[in-house]
Amino acid sequence: MVMMRPSVPTKKKGTQHGASSASQMTFCRWLINMGYLQKLIVFTLAVIVVMPLVAHYYLGMAEMADQGATNGGDAHLSTLLDMKPAELRGHIAEMFDIRRSVQRELRQLEENRQNVQEELATFHDLLTSAKLDLTNTQLELDRVRTQIDQSMREQAEIVERTLRHISAPVQILPQIENDLLLDGPAAPSLCRQHSCFDYSRCSVVAPFMVYVYDPEAVISTRTDAADKRDTIMGALKRTSYVTPDPSRACIFIVLLWDSSEDDLDEDELEGRLQSLEYWHGDGRNHLLLSVSDDRFTRNVLANVNTGRAMLARSYYTLPEFRTGFDIVLPPLSAVLRTSWRGDKFGPSYTPARRKYILSYQGGKDVNTRTNKESKVGVDHIVSRRKLKWFQDNAPSSRGLDIEGTILAEFEKIKSFSEDDIFLDFKCSGSGLDCSGSDQDWCLCGDMEQRLKILRQSTFSLILASDHQVASSTPLLMRLSEALQSGAIPVVLGEHSILPFSQFIHWNEAVLVLPMGRVTELYYLLKTFQDNDLLSFRRQGAVLYKTYLSSPGAILSGVIAAVRTRISVAANPIMEARSKDLFPPGAPRRTEKVTKVTPESDDVFPPPEPPFASPTYLRNFTATYTDHHSTWNNPPGPFFLYPNKPLDPVMPTDAQFGGSSLGFRPIGKGVGGSGKEYMESLGGNIPREQFTIVILTYQREAVLVSAVERFLGLPFLNKVIIVWNSPQAPSDDLVWPEIHVPVKVLNGGRNSLNNRFLPFDEIETDAVLSIDDDAHLRHDEMLFGFRVWRENRDRIVGFPARYHAWDTNSNTGFLYNANYTCELSMILTGAAFIHKYYLYQYSYYMPQEIRDKVDEFMNCEDIAMNFLVSHLSRKPPVKVTSRWTFRCPGCPESLSTDESHFTERHVCIQYFSKVFGYTPLLYTQYRVDSVLFKTRLPKDKQKCFKFI
């Protein structure tokens, strides 16, 4: 039989895939036929299972393995390959059992490891908790120790204050009927304070009271002058010193109206004085206030025996004026004229140099009152009996032509100087108003024309009347007109006596020169620099407003002069009465706040119990030692304040040398860093606290959140909420109760000026004025308080602003809130202020400014910055880096309105006009804590971690 080879198909390009599949099938059939497939599968499984176990074993023995072990492994592998399938399966099964056993052990170990880790974590948490408890316990122990130390020191201080306290002496008053004549000077002209004043009626511990007689008691007033007389009497009675009870009075005022319907001779006038009910035979403690209905220089008391009475009038000769006893009275008659009072804007301080370097308007009328048969011509200077004394003793000045010398000198000046000088000795176009004597320099008749020239004058020339005339009505009128207009008075005649010169330092506002300097006058005026000119002008405006601007100012100055002479304290300043928003029958709902999330890591001292700042401790010493400051700075000597920003500060060694009362030195004097710093206030002032004042208007949720954040704040005395809304708060409103009292006061009306009312509930010097939406951390408030304690006469706060010159119009300043390296204002929505400035804002600052604040419902913070800079002449102090506040969830603020900035531009320019200048001052630094950004050793702490 013939066997035939199967034909092999020819390869074609289209059959390549089919050929590949066929070859694979042929290769598989060949493996099955040869018996290799089963071995290959077993071998592959063995390799997959055994190799990891072998690798694990040999990796564990890697350090002891050598080349021989490697060869042995290869031999073992070859042995495995030589095993029969049954043996290999058994071996593999054994290996699987080993693997499962190892896995179980590994899982057990992992479970044990996890249990141990959980136990370790538990123990770690317990350890951390124990450490935290230990820390908290240590802190609490430190707080308790601090509280114990504070309590012990407070107790010791209470005992020391009690030992220091002395009760007031018994006031000894003579019976009002006592008219016993006392030995005194041989003549009234010899009276002085020490020889004619009865101090027994004026105890230093009793209020200084004044009794005013009926104005018709001595001299009847003409009918047409009754209104002016009533104006003066009203101004007297509006002062807080006048009493209707003569038994309480220290002094008695008699108003003498010069222009009377009946001309009294000297004997009759003296008799009427003697008949006054409380004259007591010698007029002790009486003040005769001589007021003229016109500007005539009269001496209605000429040659009248006035006993021990003091005199207050505008005209004196040098022999008549009794230094330290009589008072030079500013011309009341001129102030009573409506045109004299001026407008709401004071004189502009700038530019420093005005159109005329010097001006003068007036002259002498040689034909005035030379007829000696005229009664006025004789009596307007001195009485008949004294006329010859003047004629015999007055120094001759006939050889001195003052007018001619001045004219000649200034004609020379005009020839080489570009300065304009206005000298009118003939009163061209207005005529002379010779209301004084023939020895007085007459005023030009048109007062408005005089004031117009003075507003254009840098200096105003005032010529003294005569070598024997100490003061006269024309001289005093020129002085007042010059100060009112911002012209610096230049008085030629050093013998002149100006009003209240015993206490007012006129050399800070008036240039007084002897007549002999007339030829050097121009040179002296040219030496004044711009800062000196503006300083004189500012001081002149202060003195004019305080003592010369109104009948009330003049008469208050007269009373203050007598009171200051005898060292009796002024009456306390009036507090704003606090009216609780919730009457006793309708208490508010409260809820105690127990915990607040801390906002910093600083450890603060425990809050002290609230205590008030000591008040009125310097009643006598301030009156006796500070009269220069009080008389020559606003607001004047008219009231006594609980404390002032610049009360004397003791040297630091006094804290450790017998004057430690109230001081809390850091580290008990050793010093220290964070911990010791936080435990004590330190500084140069005894310990004190501050009051928070919040002005709010229908933002209850924001207000409640703000009050809650004050919980635990150290050195906090009280929180006062001024409710400025006419609507009462919601009935369901729950007020937070924190560690200090929270008082809710009724503002009365919706006015931003209520923010700065000096409420009697404010019992600390330091006041933190804060908006209800201003979010300050505790460390920020504490640091601001510490900085304020070293800058008590300034505003210390957080967001800052500045006044920028309007370069477009060049007419004034604009309000600017941009980021800047120079600032001039601190927003009072977060600022520390001395309570003293609250009195000044409410009682001293011009009413026009408070009215503008009410008109715009804006700018009260600008007004306060103007006021404080005006009084202190210092810029504010900015603390920390805060420039604004963010209040998420708060209702939209008024400050986001476009008109807000427009109104503030207007406010700055308006306030500048009222003050006469822009008192704001620039500053270029802010304050951070001492160790801020300082690298410290690990055992030291910073004062504040973030400040």
User: Catalytic residue numbers?
Assistant: 861
Distances (CA, A) of 223 to 259, 269, 925, 947: 10, 20, 64, 72
Pairwise CA distance, residues 625 & 13, whole Å: 127
**In the sheet that 800-805 helps form, which strands lie side by side, from edge to edge?**
813-816, 800-805, 825-826
**Residue 267, Cβ neighbours under 10 Å: how many?**
11
Within 165-302, residue ranges assigned H as helices are 193-196, 226-237, 266-274
103 CB-contact burial (10 Å; exposed 0-12 / middle 13-18 / buried 19+): exposed
Within 238-383, residue ranges assigned H as helices are 266-274, 332-335, 375-379
DSSP assignment of 13-76 equals GGGHHHHHHHHHHHHHHHHHHHTHHHHHHHHHHHHHHHHHHHHHHHHHTTTT--HHHHHHHHHH
CA 542 distance to own-chain centroid: 19
| Element at 737 (helix H, strand E) | strand 734-737
Backbone angles phi, psi at 131, to 5 degrees: -65, -40
SS3 category, 771: strand
Pairwise CA distance, residues 259 & 294, whole Å: 8
The answer to whether 667 and 680 are in contact (CB under 8 A) is yes
Pairwise CA distance, residues 875 & 922, whole Å: 6
Tokens coding 640: 């006594």
User: Is residue 876 reached through a cis peptide bond, with omega within 30 degrees of 0 on the bond before it?
Assistant: no
Residues, the chain: 947
Closest alpha carbon to 245 in 284, 206, 219, 291: 206
804 CB-contact burial (10 Å; exposed 0-12 / middle 13-18 / buried 19+): middle
Tokens coding 149: 């130390």
Vertex 890: Cα angle to 887 and 894 (nearest 5): 95
Q: Which residues have C-beta within 8 Å of that of residue 93, sequence separation ≥ 6?
A: none
Q: Which residues have C-beta within 8 Å of that of residue 385, sequence separation ≥ 6?
A: 303
| Element at 591 (helix H, strand E) | strand 589-592
Pairwise CA distance, residues 331 & 260, whole Å: 18
The answer to whether 724 and 695 are in contact (CB under 8 A) is yes
SS3 category, 304: coil
Closest alpha carbon to 368 in 459, 310, 437: 437
Residue type, 573: I
Positive/negative CA dihedral, 852, 854, 855, 860: positive
SS3 category, 706: helix
Closest alpha carbon to 214 in 164, 169, 162, 255: 255
Pairwise CA distance, residues 145 & 795, whole Å: 35
Distances (CA, A) of 529 to 196, 246, 525, 891: 46, 53, 9, 52
CA 761 distance to own-chain centroid: 19
The helix/strand count (H/E) of the chain reads as 25, 27
